[in-house]
Each structure stands twice: as C-alpha cells, then as structure tokens.
C-alpha cells in the first residue's frame, strides 16, 4: 500500500478527467431509434454521456432537425498520387465527404503508382498531413508479397483486385489466391475484394452502351469471384466490394462474409443513361437485378453502404464509350440520396444508419457510427424538410458531374467531428485537419467483429 504522501503524488500526476465542452440536445438516433436526448461531448471530442445532462457547458438545441451519427464510406478513390491535374485530390475529396456527412473514408490504393510498398505508404501519409477535411483509413494492395508484412504494420487494410480496372492491369490468377489469402490472414487487417472473374468477361471489343457493358462483364463473372471468396480461410477478414445482385447477397450472407452495395447499383440500372457517365465496374445491372438488390438493402440484408467514389474528369467520360474509363463519383451524394429515400418512406432510418454509419465503422475497428458514450462525437444534424437537388457542377469534386443529376437529396445541415463543427448550414467550416487512422483491433484494443453465417 502506498503511504499518504505517495498516494497524493500519484493523484496529482494523474490527468484530470475531460470536462464537458458542449451539450447537443434534440431527437437523436440512439439505440436503434430516434428519441429526445441530450448528448454531452467532452473536451477531447468524445461522447461522455447520453440522456439528461446536468452541466453548465454550452448547450445547442437542434430544434426540429435530428441528430445522427456521421457516416463512414469505406470505398473511395481520391487519385493521389498520379492523377491528372484536373482530378480529385485528398483535399477536395475529403471536403466533399464532409459535406456529404461522411466522417471517415477508406481510401483505395489503385493510384499511379499503386500503394503497394512502405515507401508509397509514407508518401501517401505525407500527402494527407494538414490537407484532409475528414479522417482516412488507407488501403494498400498486396501486389508485392514481400512488402505485405511491413505494410501490415502501417496500412489500415488491404484491397485485392481480382479483375483489371482503373490503375490495375495484372490481377492475381486463381492459382495464386490460396497463397495470397494465407499471407493476408496473418495481418489481421480488413481485406476488401473487387470480385469479378476476368475469365468470364466476353470478348466484345466495342461495347457502346451500359447495356453492352453489362453483357461484357456479366453477373456470372461476379458470381464466380464471390465463390472464390467463400473458399478463403475463415480467419481472413474478408469483405466484398460493390455487390450488384441478390444472388451475391445470399451467397455472402451464407458464408458469413462482409460486403457492401453502392448507391449507383441500388438506384440506377443499365438503362438509366446511355453514355459513358454510366460506365462503371462492376457494370450497372438490369432493372430486375437492381430492384432485387434494393429490396435486400431495404430489408437490412446488405450490411454496408459504400460509394466507390471514382471521380473521372468529364473530358475522360466524354470519350467514345469503349475507351472511356469506368467509375462514378459518389462520396458527397451517398448519404443525401439515401436520406431522401428515408424522407420518401422508401427506407427505414434504422437500416440506413446501420449500413452507412455503424457497420462500416465496426468493420474498420473505429469508435464511430453510434451515439454512445466512449464513441467519437462525429455527428450530423439533418433537417428532413430541407430538400435539395443534386447538381454535378455544384459538387465539391473537380470532376463536376454526377450520374444522379437532378435527383432529390437531403444534405446534412451540420457535421461535427470530435465535437467541432466542420459543416455549418451546408458549408465547410472545419479547421483541424483529418488524420490517418487504423483499425483499433489491429492495435490490440478491440476485437474484430465475429464472422456470423446466416
Ligand atoms: C474505380 C476507379 O476508377 O478507380 N472504377 C470503377 O469503375 N469502380 C476502380 C474500381 O473500383 O474498380
Ligand atoms: Zn473502387
């Protein structure tokens, strides 16, 4: 037992508990539903308590608006390094995210060069410093097996491309997969997979429309690659990117794997537009496929919503269809489009908050996505009476276009990051820069979500 003198000394050197800096009051999404509460935020930007708060701290009442946890978009491409000068950057992309209610992005490694070794990782972190409006979790790609152990100590996750796509020319062959899975399983990091089997692509050299593109890279190619994934070892933390059909949903749920769907595959079909702005990998599918994916999403059977934000410059998208690059922008419109579906009564708020906020944050091991003590106070204030229209030229991305031109959207009125307001009245006002984060379970602090089979 330490004597009184030593105890006093220990008490004096212990940091004092954080004090309450702000109380947000209003109807908030807490424990699965909207309820009137007060949220106490401490001076370190964490949620201290939720309920009835007795504190002299400044109090803000959001009135008729609602308070939601801010979203995580685990699939974006910000094009640094190597993007053309007119392309998206970490600076512009993260402001778009903030305005769209996204507080953490998973940034993908298919840059020029791809993020595939520790030098590239350092270069990317250097580019983030002081320039990001929200936090980033950086995915690396395991194209060089020797670089994997070092990358695993720094990167936030791995991305495996099973088919050629923007910036990726030589995907691993099916024979290489078992060895690759083993190496990645040892890292304990999340592994996101672009699942299309190029062996099932058709040889049509001149696709001229989204319908033809869908025939070129058919559902069968996605099915085959998802089947490869289900045969990977259980200890691998596997996630399928941009699943496009309910067949895929059923297969992945049966295998207990994580997966995402994008707003474009949920809301657009291969007949929504005829030009290369509607060219994306995997392709937009038939209206019947789209509708069944949407039904699965509405029922809460798609765990994660992610944008696959791929903001190609409009000049590139104006090329003839067969030569135009694949990909659509989406980080700024993802949540606003789906909040609009909630307003229209087409989607439960609970399903949306789980898919856009809670589940992706848990998958990436982040204390985000829930209004609960101990979580970061990354919150949105949303006013469902303030409807707006999506206009490509007004989005923050320099690409200046969107496949959702003219769609109704509900943009967050305010966005708090660690208790600091970074969006006010729909304008970006943030001052403290975003940082690079890693899954806390990779640091030994939290357990990764368990694999559950349906
Ligand atoms: C993405 C891009 O442009 O970076 N394109 C796309 O069509 N989704 C790459 C990718 O995720 O396949
Ligand atoms: Zn992508």
**Tens-digit pLDDT profile for residues 278-321:** 999 999 999 999 999 999 999 999 999 999 999 999 999 999 99
pLDDT of 362 higher than 70:
yes
Q: Which active-site residues does the annotation give?
A: 308
DSSP three-state, residue 137: strand
Average pLDDT, the chain: 94
Given a contact cutoff of 8 angstroms between Cβ atoms, the answer to whether 373 and 48 are in contact is yes
Query: Which carries the bigger pLDDT value, residue 86 or residue 389?
Result: 389
Q: Which helix (H) or strand (E) holds 334?
A: helix 334-343
In this structure, the residue with its CA closest to atom 11 of ligand 1 is 308
Q: How many CB atoms lie within 10 A of CB 145?
A: 12
What separation in Å is there between the alpha carbon of 399 and the centre of ligand 1? Answer: 15
State pLDDT tens for residues 88-127: 999 999 999 999 999 999 999 999 999 999 999 999 999 9
Q: Is the peptide bond before 282 cis (omega within 30 degrees of 0)?
A: yes
Report helix, strand or coil for 286.
Answer: coil
Q: Using CB atoms within 10 Å of the CB of residue 200, give its burial: 0 to 12 exposed, 13 to 18 middle, 19+ buried.
A: middle
DSSP 16: P
The percentage of residues in the chain with a pLDDT greater than 90, rounded to a whole number, is 87
Ligand nearest to the CA of 168: 1
**Average pLDDT over every residue of 72-100:** 95
Cα distance from N-terminal residue to C-terminal residue, the chain: 53
Lining ligand 1 with CB less than 6 A are: 77, 110, 165-166, 194, 280-281, 308, 310, 326-327
pLDDT given for residue 197 in this prediction = 96
Please compute the mean of the pLDDT values over residues 370-381 and round it to a whole number.
97
pLDDT digits (tens, 9 = 90+) for 18-58: 899 999 999 999 999 999 999 999 999 999 999 988 888 99
Q: Where are the beta strands (DSSP E) in 171-295?
A: 190-194, 237-240, 258-261
Q: How many residues does the chain have?
A: 454
**Residue 4 phi, psi dihedral angles, 5° rounding:** -55, -40
| pLDDT tops 90 at residue 83 | no
Share of the chain above pLDDT 70, in %: 95
Q: In whole angstroms, what is the distance from residue 328 CA to residue 310 CA?
A: 5
CA 29 from chain center: how many Å? 20
Report whether pLDDT(4) > 90: no
User: What pLDDT is attached to residue 13?
Assistant: 59
Ligand 1 atom closest to Cα of 241? 11
Q: What separation in angstroms does the CA of 273 have from each of 39, 307, 409? A: 44, 19, 19
- Name the DSSP class of 356: I
Q: Is 114 helix (H, G, I), strand (E, B) or coil?
A: coil
Residues with Cβ within 8 Å of 13's Cβ and at least 6 positions away in sequence, in order, are: none
pTM of the model: 0.95
User: Which residue's CA lies nearest to atom 5 of ligand 1?
Assistant: 327
Q: Name the pLDDT band for 12 (thresholds 50, 70, 90).
A: low
Label residue 15 by pLDDT band (50, 70, 90).
low
Nearest ligand, measured from the Cα of 165 = 1
β partners of residue 25: 38, 61
Mean pLDDT (whole number) for 343-356: 98
Residue 255 pLDDT: 96
Q: What pLDDT does 264 receive? A: 99
Whether residue 234 has pLDDT greater than 70: yes
Q: Which atom belonging to ligand 1 lies closest to the Cα atom of 279?
A: 7
Mean pLDDT value of segment 378-391: 98
């Amino acid at each position: 037992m330490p004597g009184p003198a030593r105890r006093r000394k220990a008490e004096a050197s212990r940091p004092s508990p954080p004090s309450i800096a702000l109380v947000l009051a209003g109807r908030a999404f807490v424990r699965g539903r909207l309820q009137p509460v007060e949220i106490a935020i401490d001076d370190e930007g964490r949620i201290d308590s939720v309920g009835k708060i007795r504190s002299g701290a400044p109090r803000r009442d959001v009135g008729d608006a609602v308070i939601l946890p801010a979203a995580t978009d685990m699939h974006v491409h910000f094009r640094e390094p190597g993007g053309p000068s007119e392309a998206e950057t970490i600076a512009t992309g993260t402001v778009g995210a903030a305005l769209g209610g996204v507080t953490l992005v998973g940034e993908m490694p298919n840059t020029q060069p791809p993020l595939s070794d520790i030098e590239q990782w350092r270069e990317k972190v250097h580019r983030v410093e002081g320039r990001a409006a929200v936090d980033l979790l950086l995915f690396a790609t395991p194209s060089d097996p020797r670089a994997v152990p070092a990358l695993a100590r720094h990167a936030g996750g791995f991305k495996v491309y099973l088919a050629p796509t923007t910036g990726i020319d030589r995907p691993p062959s099916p024979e290489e997969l078992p060895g690759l899975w083993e190496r990645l399983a040892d890292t304990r990091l999340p592994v996101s997979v672009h699942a299309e089997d190029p062996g099932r692509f058709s040889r049509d050299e001149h696709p001229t429309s989204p319908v033809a593109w869908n025939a070129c890279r058919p559902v069968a190619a996605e099915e085959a690659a998802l089947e490869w994934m289900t045969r990977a070892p259980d200890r691998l933390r596997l996630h399928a990117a941009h699943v496009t059909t309910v067949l895929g949903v059923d297969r992945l749920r049966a295998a207990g794997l994580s997966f995402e769907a994008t707003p474009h595959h949920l809301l657009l079909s291969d007949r929504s537009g005829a030009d290369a702005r509607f060219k994306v990998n995997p392709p937009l599918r038939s209206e019947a496929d789209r509708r069944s994916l949407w039904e699965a999403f509405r029922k809460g059977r798609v765990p994660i919503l992610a944008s696959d934000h791929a903001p190609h410059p409009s000049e590139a998208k104006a090329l003839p269809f067969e030569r135009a690059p694949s990909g659509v922008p989406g980080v700024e419109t993802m949540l606003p489009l789906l909040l609009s579906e909630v307003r229209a009564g087409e989607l439960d708020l609970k399903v949306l908050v789980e898919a856009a906020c809670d589940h992706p944050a848990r998958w990436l091991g982040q204390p985000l996505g829930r209004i609960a003590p101990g979580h970061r106070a990354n919150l949105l204030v949303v006013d469902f009476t303030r409807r707006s229209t999506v206009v490509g030229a007004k989005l923050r991305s320099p690409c200046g276009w969107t496949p959702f031109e003219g769609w109704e959207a509900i943009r967050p009125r305010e966005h708090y990051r660690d208790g600091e307001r970074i969006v006010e009245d729909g304008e970006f006002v943030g001052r403290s820069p975003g940082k690079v984060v890693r899954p806390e379970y990779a640091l030994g602090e939290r357990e990764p979500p368990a694999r559950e089979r349906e």
